[in-house]
Amino acid sequence: MIFLDQLNRSIFIPSIPKRIVSLVPSQTELLVDLGLEDRIVGVTKFCVHPKDLRKSKTIIGGTKIYRFDLIDQLNPDLIIGNKEENDQEGVETLMKKYPVWMSDIYTLEDSLDMMLRLAEIFKVEEEAKLISDRIQSDFLEKPIRKGSVVYLIWNNPMMVAGSKTFINEMLTRAGFENLIQSNRYPEISKEELIRLNPDYLLLSSEPFPFKEGHLKEFGDLLPNTKIKLVDGELFSWYGSRLLRSKQYFESL
């Protein structure tokens, strides 16, 4: 059958895939929650959920650099990736040999669409609908406004989540007003951060692992700002981990 991915590419998949390589941690977890764990043969070193999955699967590299020799040994009948998280050149190399289905996610609606499209490929539509309906229900109610925010994803150089990112979408869904309106993940100086003077500064647990020690460092810089360490997975993972996001946002 022919399936469209979120890049509007037509992917020919002759039968229900039984040997999946997933290049995206959040989508790996989704596949497991859809009941497809036994069909996953390859994952990245960052596919940390569920906790013991990597012990029983082949680790094919990271989200940017791949062990093509290991992927060839696995002989997948479907590879699942994402436009932003994966390396374009590497993915295009894989496309020459295997069916590769790509997601492209900036909004909650994109995420729910991804779930339902993948479910169609694997004939697990009912399971996906249960997950997507619950997530959609969680976010129906307008959030209580928390205030302005800057969300740090990296240190030295400092990098922030800007517009046209899934993190920006989740910040809005959590009730924050993102002060960074540049696209994607721009660098920011200490001087610019001080000038912005956000109500909140959120220090993400990934990709840079901000720790308790950073709270004082940024507290000295922004004495009037509420500074919090936050679980980056619940702001950036766009699969079934979203089932935990709404409650977490309310707890902040």
Domains and CATH numbers, the chain: 2-137 (3.40.50.1980), 147-251 (3.40.50.1980)
- pLDDT value at position 44? 98
pLDDT range class, residue 192, cuts 50, 70, 90 = very high
- pLDDT value at position 207? 95
Percent helix, strand, coil in the chain, to 5, is 40, 20, 40
Task: Confirm if 26 and 47 have CB atoms less than 8 A apart.
Answer: no
> Which of left, alpha, beta for 216 (phi over 0: left; psi -120 to 50: alpha)?
alpha
- pLDDT value at position 43? 98
- pLDDT value at position 178? 98
pLDDT range class, residue 172, cuts 50, 70, 90 = very high
- Note the pTM of the prediction, 2 decimals: 0.95
Query: What does the alpha-carbon distance between residue 164 and residue 180 come to, in Å, rounded to a whole number?
Result: 11
pLDDT range class, residue 72, cuts 50, 70, 90 = very high
Which tens digit of pLDDT belongs to each residue from 97-112?
999 999 999 999 999 9
- pLDDT value at position 186? 97
From residue 47, alpha-carbon distances to 31, 65, 107 in Å are 12, 14, 22
pLDDT (mean) for 181-203: 96
Which tens digit of pLDDT belongs to each residue from 119-131?
999 999 999 999 9
Q: Give 228's DSSP letter.
A: E
Q: Strands of the chain (E only): list them.
A: 2-4, 10-12, 20-22, 40-43, 58-59, 78-82, 100-103, 147-154, 159-160, 176-178, 200-204, 226-230
pLDDT (mean) for 5-27: 97
250 contact partners, CB below 8 Å, separation of at least 6: none
Which tens digit of pLDDT belongs to each residue from 30-55?
999 999 999 999 999 999 999 999 99
> Which of left, alpha, beta for 97 (phi over 0: left; psi -120 to 50: alpha)?
alpha
Q: String of b and e for 237-251 (b: at least 16 CB within 10 Å)? A: bbbbbbeebbeebee
Calculate the average pLDDT of the chain.
97
pLDDT range class, residue 220, cuts 50, 70, 90 = very high
- pLDDT value at position 214? 96
pLDDT (mean) for 156-177: 97
Task: Confirm if 249 and 174 have CB atoms less than 8 A apart.
Answer: yes
pLDDT range class, residue 176, cuts 50, 70, 90 = very high
> What is the total residue count of the chain?
252
